[in-house]
Amino acid sequence: MGDIAGFVAATFRRGVPYVQIPTSLLAMIDSSIGGKTGVDTGFGKNLVGAFHQPNVVLADVQTLATLPPVQLAAGMAEALKHGAIADEAYFADLVSRPDAVRSLDPDVLISTVKRSVEIKASVVTEDERENGRRAILNFGHTVAHALETTLGYELLHGEAVAIGMLAEAKLGVLEHVTDPGAVDSLQQALAAYRLPVDIADDISVSELSEALLQDKKTRGGTVKFALLERIGSVAGEIGAGWTRTASKENISTVIRDLVAN
C-alpha cells in the first residue's frame, strides 16, 4: 500500500508531498523508510517505480493489534535481514524474543521498529541512489524477487525474503564468501518466527533461472547478489562494491536445491 501510494505521490503532477503512515510491521520497519516507491508488474519486481521521500513517517505499533500473524512474521523477515547485514547483537535479540513479538509486547515492538529504522535509515542516508552500500539491503532479495515473479506474488514479500536469505547464505558459502555458521543461524531464526525456508509450490528450475536474469541488479547477463560475510556483516567494500556475481554452477546448485524441496 505504501509503495503504490508513494508512487502516485511521486508521479501525480510530477510529485506532491506525502506522509507514510505504515500499519504493517514490514512497512514500519522497512518499506516506509528510504523513499523507494513502485508497483509490481507481471514482468518482474520493482521494474516500475520512483524515488520519492515522504515528508513524515508515522508508525504506531498499536495498529499491529489487528495485523494477521503471517503478516507479522513476514515483517520480521526484514528485521532479521537488518540484523544479518548490519548488527549481530540485534539479530541475536530478535532470535531470543519471538514470543514477545507474537504477543505484541509494545516495548519489544517499539525497540524492534526503532533499531530496524536506524539501520535502514543509516544505510540509505549514506547512499540515496543505490550506487554503493545501499545494495546490502538487497541481501536475500535477488532470489526473493525471482520467487515473487515466478509465483505471481502468491508469497508474501517477507516470506520470499526469508527463503531468499537462506538460499543466498548457502550461495555465499559455496562461493567461499559466507561463514557456514550463518546458514544455521538463519535457519534457526526463520524457524523461530515460523517463516518458510523452502517453496511449497511446484516451479521449474528454468522458470526460476529466467526470473533471476530479469533482476534489476543483473548486468550483461550476470546476476548480482549481496552476500553475507557472516551474521552482522555483508561481504564487500567501498570501491569494490557490495554486490557480486556468483558462478553459474553455484547458482544452479542453489536453485535446484530450492526447487527440489
Ligand X SMILES: NC(=O)c1ccc[n+]([C@@H]2O[C@H](COP(=O)([O-])OP(=O)(O)OC[C@H]3O[C@@H](n4cnc5c(N)ncnc54)[C@H](O)[C@@H]3O)[C@@H](O)[C@H]2O)c1
Which of 79, 86, 62, 68 lies closest to 27 in space, CA to CA? 79
Rounded to an integer, what distance in angstroms lies between the CA atom of residue 135 and that of residue 235? 11
Any catalytic annotation for residue 97?
A: no
> Interface with ligand X by CB under 6 A: which residues?
1, 3, 23-24, 26-27, 30-31, 34, 36, 63-64, 66-67, 71, 74, 157
Residue 126 CB, shortest distance to ligand X, in Å, is: 15
Is 237 tagged catalytic? no
Which residue number, 216 or 245, has a Cβ lying nearer to ligand X? 216
Q: How far apart are CA 148 and CA 156, in angstroms?
A: 8
Pick 31 or 142: Cβ nearer ligand X? 31
Classify the C-alpha dihedral 80-85-86-92 as positive or negative: positive
Active site residue 120: yes
3-class SS at 233?
strand
Which of the residues 115, 134, 230, 244 is marked catalytic? 134
**Is 194 assigned a catalytic role?**
no
Q: Does residue 130 carry a catalytic annotation?
A: yes
Annotated catalytic residue within 115, 130, 170, 175: 130
Give the shortest CB-56-to-ligand X separation in angstroms. Answer: 16
- Compute the distance between CA of residue 146 and CA of residue 127 in angstroms, rounded to an integer: 25
Which parts of 42-195 are beta strand (E)? 44-51, 56-57
Active site residue ranges: 14, 36, 78, 120, 130, 134, 138, 141, 145, 157
